[in-house]
């Protein structure tokens, strides 16, 4: 069995961990292999997030048995708490050895602040320029230099549903348009007893907004909003915000679930009908909750967004001043390796960034991930807001504030004005 196959089986729980590690002849105790610790900062603490991280670490252990991984994950979906903690450490000149950052505008902040080392030597050595998707390269580089190693591609515009709950209500798992989605939510509401569309903490509320905006605006207008001079006063933006206003009435926004993972659990155990969440929810439904695709849960693109793949990519960096630089480079190499990516993505719900997967590699993944790999190739690729692709941290924070006020006042016109002001300040 190849190492990548073993790591994958380990990650997805198909084989008990100890059996796999001993079967693969781990190099444990090999004094010639590099040693030392590497402190890695992320926000992967929930369900499929920690399972994915553990899978990556299992493969690291196989390849580099003497590297000690120091896990500095800070809980909070989408990195809400981790990013604040990271900013503090960076400003104190005390960076971790590597930290998670989203490809796109979020990473550009760290590059512009001069906080990262470039990774061109590693890119050359690993031939990653030829192996990572062409669309991703501009989002992890600046002026010909690469600054992070992308470990996955997630899709944000996904609708998850519970088939039994929908059947009882006569509702559709894959409404084609936003209007028909609202009709289906109404059916679930009338049937009673469940949350029609389940939400959790603040990032899930923004995640819902970005998907409703994509649904209403379409991929061209959504993408244009993040370009300098974009028209945030446009009637279409207003229509999107009105749709958002309406869809919120079918949610538990006033008493949300504790985390996105807790919300996925409510969906899995029949207490909620639909969830709009990135496909890390698949990792949780399938592996953490042990549910069966199609029988226990169903998926579709968010209504009105079929044909668009609203993506995000988790990537890891090498901060300037990292205390364990050599070990950090070993960790980064692992993030871009096939063994690491197969195991990690198999548990996380995302798809690898490596484009050299064989049919054999592909066959290791479940039906959802294989479909997502095809969708990535055939869909129009657009960026996620909540997960750092289209707007940097400061713009995201301004949008968070606009959402918080909107949830209190529920006035679409002042919500739109706040978004216009945020764009005027941050869209450069």
DSSP letters for 258-303: SSHHHHHHHHHTTSEEEEE--THHHHIIIIIS-PPBTTTBEEEEPT
Of 153 and 185, nearer to ligand GAL (C-beta) is: 153
Q: What is the DSSP letter of 319?
A: B
282 near ligand GAL, judged by CB under 6 A? no
Could you tell me the smallest distance in angstroms from the CB atom of residue 76 to ligand GAL?
8
Could you tell me the smallest distance in angstroms from the CB atom of residue 79 to ligand GAL?
6
279 near ligand GAL, judged by CB under 6 A? no
Q: Which two tokens stand for residue 206?
A: 């923004």
How many residues are listed for the chain in this entry? 428
d(CA 125, CA 116): 19
| CA within 13 Å, CB half, 78 | 27
Q: Which of 279, 314, 334, 361 binds ligand GAL (CB under 6 A)?
A: 314
- 272-276: strand order across its sheet: 195-197, 272-276, 158-161, 298-301
Could you tell me the smallest distance in angstroms from the CB atom of residue 78 to ligand GAL?
4
Of 51 and 60, nearer to ligand GAL (C-beta) is: 51
Place of tokens 């509702």: 171
Q: Determine the size of the site formed for ligand GAL (CB under 6 A).
A: 13
d(CA 207, CA 305): 14
Could you tell me the smallest distance in angstroms from the CB atom of residue 97 to ligand GAL?
20
Q: Which of 39, 49, 210, 296 binds ligand GAL (CB under 6 A)?
A: 49
d(CA 254, CA 248): 10
Long-range own/partner contacts, residues 250-254 (CB < 8 A, 24 or more apart): 250/182, 250/185, 250/186, 250/188, 250/189, 250/196, 250/197, 251/195, 251/196, 251/197, 251/198, 251/199, 251/208, 252/195, 252/198, 252/199, 253/199, 253/205, 253/407
Of 150 and 303, nearer to ligand GAL (C-beta) is: 150
Could you tell me the smallest distance in angstroms from the CB atom of residue 158 to ligand GAL?
12
Could you tell me the smallest distance in angstroms from the CB atom of residue 31 to ligand GAL?
36
Spell out, one character per residue from 123 to 162, where the chain touches ligand GAL: x when CB under 6 A holds, - when not.
Answer: -------------------------------x--------
387 near ligand GAL, judged by CB under 6 A? yes
Q: Which of 79, 96, 101, 268 binds ligand GAL (CB under 6 A)?
A: 79
Could you tell me the smallest distance in angstroms from the CB atom of residue 210 to ligand GAL?
12
390 near ligand GAL, judged by CB under 6 A? no
DSSP letters for 71-121: E----SGGGHHHHHHHHHHHHTT---SEEEEETTHHHHHHHHTT-B---HH
77 near ligand GAL, judged by CB under 6 A? yes
5 near ligand GAL, judged by CB under 6 A? no
Q: Which of 40, 57, 58, 78 binds ligand GAL (CB under 6 A)?
A: 78
312 near ligand GAL, judged by CB under 6 A? yes
Could you tell me the smallest distance in angstroms from the CB atom of residue 135 to ligand GAL?
17
Could you tell me the smallest distance in angstroms from the CB atom of residue 80 to ligand GAL?
9
User: Within the chain, what is the greatest distance between any pair of CA atoms?
Assistant: 66
Spell out, one character per residue from 177 to 216, where the chain touches ligand GAL: x when CB under 6 A holds, - when not.
Answer: ----------------------------------------
260 near ligand GAL, judged by CB under 6 A? yes
Cα-to-chain-centroid distance, residue 106: 13
d(CA 384, CA 369): 19
Binding footprint of ligand GAL on the chain (CB under 6 A): 43-44, 49, 77-79, 154, 260, 278, 280, 312, 314, 387
């Amino acid at each position: 069995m190849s190492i990548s196959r073993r790591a994958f089986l380990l990650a997805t729980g198909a084989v008990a961990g100890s059996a796999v590690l001993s079967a693969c002849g781990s190099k444990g105790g090999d004094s010639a292999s590099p040693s030392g610790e590497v402190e890695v900062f992320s926000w992967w603490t929930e369900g499929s997030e920690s399972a994915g991280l553990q899978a990556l670490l299992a493969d690291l252990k196989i390849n580099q048995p003497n590297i000690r991984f120091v896990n500095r994950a800070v809980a909070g979906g989408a990195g809400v708490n981790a990013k604040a903690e990271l900013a503090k450490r960076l400003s104190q000149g005390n960076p971790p050895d590597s930290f998670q950052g989203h490809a796109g505008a979020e990473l550009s902040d760290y590059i512009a602040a001069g906080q990262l080392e470039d990774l061109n030597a590693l890119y050359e050595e690993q031939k990653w320029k030829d192996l990572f998707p062409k669309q991703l390269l501009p989002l992890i580089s600046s002026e010909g230099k690469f600054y992070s190693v992308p470990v996955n591609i997630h899709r944000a515009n996904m609708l998850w549903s519970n088939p039994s709950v929908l059947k009882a209500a006569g509702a559709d798992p894959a409404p084609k348009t936003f209007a028909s989605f609202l009709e289906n939510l109404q059916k679930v509401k009338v049937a009673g007893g469940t949350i029609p569309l389940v939400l959790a903490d603040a990032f899930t509320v923004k995640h819902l907004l970005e998907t409703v905006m994509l649904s209403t605006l379409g991929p061209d207008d959504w993408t244009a909003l993040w370009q300098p001079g974009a028209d945030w006063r446009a009637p279409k933006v207003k229509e999107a915000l009105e749709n958002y206003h309406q869809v919120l009435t079918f949610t538990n926004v006033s008493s949300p679930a504790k985390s996105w993972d807790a919300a996925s659990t409510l969906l899995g155990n029949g207490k909620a009908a639909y969830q709009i969440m990135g496909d890390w929810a698949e990792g949780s439904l399938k592996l953490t909750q042990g549910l069966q695709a199609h029988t226990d849960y169903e998926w579709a693109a968010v209504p009105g967004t079929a044909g668009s793949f609203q993506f995000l990519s988790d990537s890891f960096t090498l901060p300037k001043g990292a205390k364990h630089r050599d070990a950090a480079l070993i960790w980064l190499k692992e993030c871009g390796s096939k063994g690491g990516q197969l195991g990690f993505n198999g548990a996380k719900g995302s798809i690898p960034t490596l484009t050299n997967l064989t049919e054999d590699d592909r066959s290791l993944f479940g039906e959802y991930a294989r479909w997502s790999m095809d969708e990535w190739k055939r869909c129009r690729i657009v960026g996620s807001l909540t997960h750092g692709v289209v707007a940097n941290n400061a713009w995201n924070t301004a949008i968070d504030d606009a959402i918080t006020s909107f949830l209190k006042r529920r006035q679409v016109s002042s919500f739109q004005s706040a978004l216009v002001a945020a764009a005027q300040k941050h869209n450069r």
